[in-house]
Copies of this chain bind each other. A is one copy, B any other.
Amino acid sequence: MIEATGTLPPASPALWRDRIETPAVLIDLDIVERNIARCQKHCDELGLAVRPHIKTHKLPLLAYAQLAAGAVGVTAQKIGEAEVMAAAGITDIFISYNIVGAKKLDRLRQLAQAAQLTVTADSLDVVSGLATAFVDAPRPLNVLVECDTGMHRCGVATPEAAVELALQVHAAAGLHFAGLMTYPAPGAGTGAMAWLGAAARLCRDAGLSVEVVSSGGTPDLYRFRSEPAVNEYRPGSYIYNDRSLLASEACEEIDCALTVAATVISVPAADRAIVDAGSKILTSDLLGLDGYGFALGRSDISIPQLNEEHGHLQLTGDGPALVVGQTLRIIPNHACVVSNMVDHVHLVRGEHYVRQESVAARGKVL
């Protein structure tokens, strides 16, 4: 049941505590709505198109809410995620990934019948594969040249290499050079914007139209200021936020929409307890932090260690004792990866239950 209007469902009279078994992922829709509105307003003020990354939530329901707020389309990381979004009726999808290999190119071409697709390329190898697959496609595939503006993941290394590859895309019959993208540009002052500006200029000098220059990353979302080099932003985590964004002061605790509800299953000593949320739901992602999460309302508790089904809590003694059966809510280090660990999440509004929602794009590694 997807509300393709983008309206999120209301609370029920029931309390979530009465409805769930732990460990469970709770998504507070009141906070989600605030986060979506805030991001859209911010980007509207900067004249930036918003193309949210759905890897954070993996839920068509929330993709529709983002589109209803004003997003121009969505971003997915894998064809499998894009397939789920297209099956839910979403028609403008950027897959921010190099699509490589015959089986994947077949799926991409199939999917292009259902949605307007854009993909990346950062090498002639990738462009050649795309070109072969789309040479006789009914409509051309949009391709953004991925630029390494300092993060050293994928991407061409220089603005000169970007225009060279852009010309190859432009020359391919089934491909449309649509512009440039970068993996979350490093913070201000690192030269990423100058890099993109130079590359776009070179492309235009070569006679190419550069429709889109796309950046992303929630950490810098609200620090991002008007910047002529970029006209699209792909934030992901902003919809939920998490402990890593709290640590980087990109959000506050009341902005954290995703929490993991956990039950204390053992209190072996006064200063230690074990909860039923381990790495199988919180994941082992540290993102440079100490510990594996923050227990809401319990700054006296740290989570120094996880096993798959056990979260180790360390108590400083400044808070009340924990008892077996007690429920805690934990803000995870990294919300995106938590979404991928569960078949469904529980939608809530404050203490009230909304409903269970299947994580339709979970586990789409292909």
Contacts and interface: CB of A to CB of B under 8 A. Distances in A.
Interface of A: 21-23, 55, 77-78, 97-98, 100-101, 103-104, 122-123, 125-126, 129, 148, 152-157, 263-269, 272, 274, 276, 279-281, 283-286, 307-310, 312, 323-325, 336-337, 340-343, 363, 365-366
A188 to B, nearest CB: 22
A125 B366 CA distance: 44
B325 A341 contact: no
Given A21-B103, A123-B324, 20 more contacts: A23-B365, A55-B308, A78-B309, A98-B266, A100-B325, A101-B325, A122-B268, A125-B324, A125-B325, A152-B268, A152-B272, A153-B310, A154-B265, A154-B274, A279-B285, A280-B340, A283-B283, A308-B340, A309-B365, A341-B365
A266 B341 CA distance: 27
A263 B21 contact: no
A252 B337 CA distance: 31
A34 to B, nearest CB: 25
Nearest to A267: B123
Contacts of A126: 265-266, 324
A157 B101 contact: no
A267 B152 CA distance: 11
- Lowest 8 A-B CB distances belong to which pairs? A125-B324, A284-B284, A154-B266, A98-B265, A21-B103, A284-B285, A77-B309, A100-B265
A127 to B, nearest CB: 10
B157 A268 contact: yes
Q: How many copies does the complex hold?
A: 2
A266 B312 contact: no
Contacts of A154: 265-266, 268, 274, 310
A363 B312 CA distance: 20
Contacts of A268: 122, 148, 152-157
19 contacts: A21-B103, A21-B104, A21-B366, A100-B264, A100-B265, A101-B263, A122-B266, A123-B266, A123-B267, A153-B268, A154-B268, A279-B285, A280-B337, A280-B365, A281-B365, A283-B283, A284-B337, A308-B340, A342-B365
Q: Which of A77, A276, A341 has the most chain B CB atoms closer than 10 A to its own CB?
A: A276
B125 A307 contact: no
A23 B101 CA distance: 12
A37 B266 CA distance: 36
Contact of A22 (B101, B280, B285): B101
A280 B125 CA distance: 25
Nearest to A343: B363
Given A263-B101, A284-B283, A308 B337 contact: yes
A310 B157 CA distance: 18
Nearest to A284: B284
Contacts of A284: 283-286, 337
Contact of A77 (B263, B272, B308, B366): B308
Contacts of A97: 265, 309
A216 to B, nearest CB: 13
Q: Which of A153, A265, A312, A341 has the most chain B CB atoms closer than 10 A to its own CB?
A: A265
A314 to B, nearest CB: 11
Contacts of A363: 341-343, 363
Q: Which of A22, A284, A336 has the most chain B CB atoms closer than 10 A to its own CB?
A: A284
